[in-house]
Amino acid sequence: MTKKILAYIDHFHGKVQPSSWEALGVAKEMAADSGGEAAALVLGEGLEKVAASAFQYGADQVLVADDPILKDFRPEPLADMVKQAAEKYEPDVIIFPTTTRGRILAAMAAVDLDSGVMVDVIDLDWSGDQIVATRPIYAGKLLAKLVCSTKPQVITIRTRAFAKPEPDPGRSGTPIQLEVSLDPDGISTSIASMEEKTEGVSLNDAVVIVSGGRGVALNPCLDPPDDLSEADTEIWKAKKGFELIEDLAGTLGAAVGASRASVDAGYIDYDHQVGQTGKVVSPDLYIACGISGAIQHLAGMRSSKVIVAINKDPDAPIFKFARFGVVDDMHAVLPPLTAELKAYLES
């Protein structure tokens, strides 16, 4: 039976979250195997470029709702438009990227369309009668297989779990415009202001992550200012430790991660926490510095393709999960490691 698959293209003010193209890639493959078609759904304001990109990334159709009322991220009007698009296009499956917005809108779509949602899936098998989704639970300590018995099946795919299609610059098309007839007075939220983040690579999208643990504050060679309290001295040392991690991350174009211990100790913002109560990541390369490897941290990073551990304690559990281990003080290893890598990458 031919299938219509709708992929939600998540963007903020026209800047697309890269995992949206992964969602479109899955939609294309799923549609192709059934002789059906893949459509992209783009909601917001000023969407010509995003719609054009969606054609280049392979969408057969692009559904667009372009209206100032949809400009900012307000879940309610956007969810109303997802529902309207689904009722018009009648997809068998709707695929969202598991971004902050994608997760919320998928959750709401399942309620609005009287169906079900399978969230943050890492594998999809549509070779049989029904789509079987695999998703990690307990932060990846276990895997669950899920099926959804109603239509449309709403799915969110984990970032970097599926291949991103190659865009074809020669591909183009004419989007289908959806009618936007939302009542502005019916929307009970408004955006007062936005503080945009300026810092580097996000953990979820990162190909390489360099992480620091408790060890970042344990450099014996530092000479902290005398006037600091004991607690402030520890933070001061930790910041110096994270500077070494940032240098390495900068060289590799990597994101900076952290263990819960280092976040709870105040060494770095929670935004960087990897683990069961932080972010679950699976980069190609994960370099753990001064991290012992608590089970909660391992749950958040052990699906990384290659793990490198640098820790002066030879018995640290992290070494059991590492492809390469360096038993030494991270403060002594990181500067020459960064220099060696820089020399290699520049050669």
User: Would you call 286 helix, strand, or coil by DSSP?
Assistant: strand
Per-residue contact flags (x/-) with other proteins for residues 246 to 285, judged by CB under 8 A = -----------------------xxx-x--xx--x---xx
Does 2 help bind other proteins (rule: CB under 8 A)?
no
Sequence-separated contacts (24+) of 226-235 with Cβ below 8 Å: 234/265, 235/265, 235/266, 235/267
Kindly determine how many residues on this chain lie close enough to bind other proteins according to the rule CB under 8 A.
89
Q: Would you say 61 or 204 has its CB closer to other proteins?
A: 204
Does 341 help bind other proteins (rule: CB under 8 A)?
yes
Q: Would you say 38 or 298 has its CB closer to other proteins?
A: 298
Q: Which amino acid, 121?
A: V
Does 179 help bind other proteins (rule: CB under 8 A)?
no
Does 117 help bind other proteins (rule: CB under 8 A)?
yes
Site for other proteins in 204-243 (CB under 8 A): 204
Q: Which residues pair with 208 in a beta bridge?
A: 285
Site for other proteins in 276-335 (CB under 8 A): 276-277, 280, 284-285, 294-296, 303, 306-308, 314, 319-329, 332-333
Minimum distance from CB of 309 to other proteins (Å)? 8
Kindly tell me which residue out of 193, 221, 223, 315 binds other proteins, with binding defined by CB under 8 A.
Answer: 193
Does 38 help bind other proteins (rule: CB under 8 A)?
no
Cα–Cα distance list, 176 to 48, 64, 97, 168, 208 (Å): 12, 6, 22, 20, 38
| Tokens at 299, concatenated | 């749950």
Cα–Cα distance list, 222 to 240, 247, 327, 336 (Å): 9, 17, 20, 17
Q: Would you say 172 or 320 has its CB closer to other proteins?
A: 320
The stretch near other proteins (CB under 8 A) out of 21-29, 72-80, 228-236, 238-246 is 72-80
Residue 309, judged by CB atoms within 10 A of its CB (0-12, 13-18, 19+), counts as buried
Q: Residue 310 and residue 288: Cα distance in Å, rounded? A: 6
How many CA atoms, within 13 angstroms, populate the side-chain half-sphere of residue 11?
Answer: 25
Kindly tell me which residue out of 2, 189, 200, 243 binds other proteins, with binding defined by CB under 8 A.
Answer: 189
Q: Residue 305 and residue 322: Cα distance in Å, rounded? A: 10
Closest-CA residue to 308 (of 202, 187, 208, 168): 208
Minimum distance from CB of 152 to other proteins (Å)? 10
Kindly tell me which residue out of 116, 224, 250, 317 binds other proteins, with binding defined by CB under 8 A.
Answer: 116
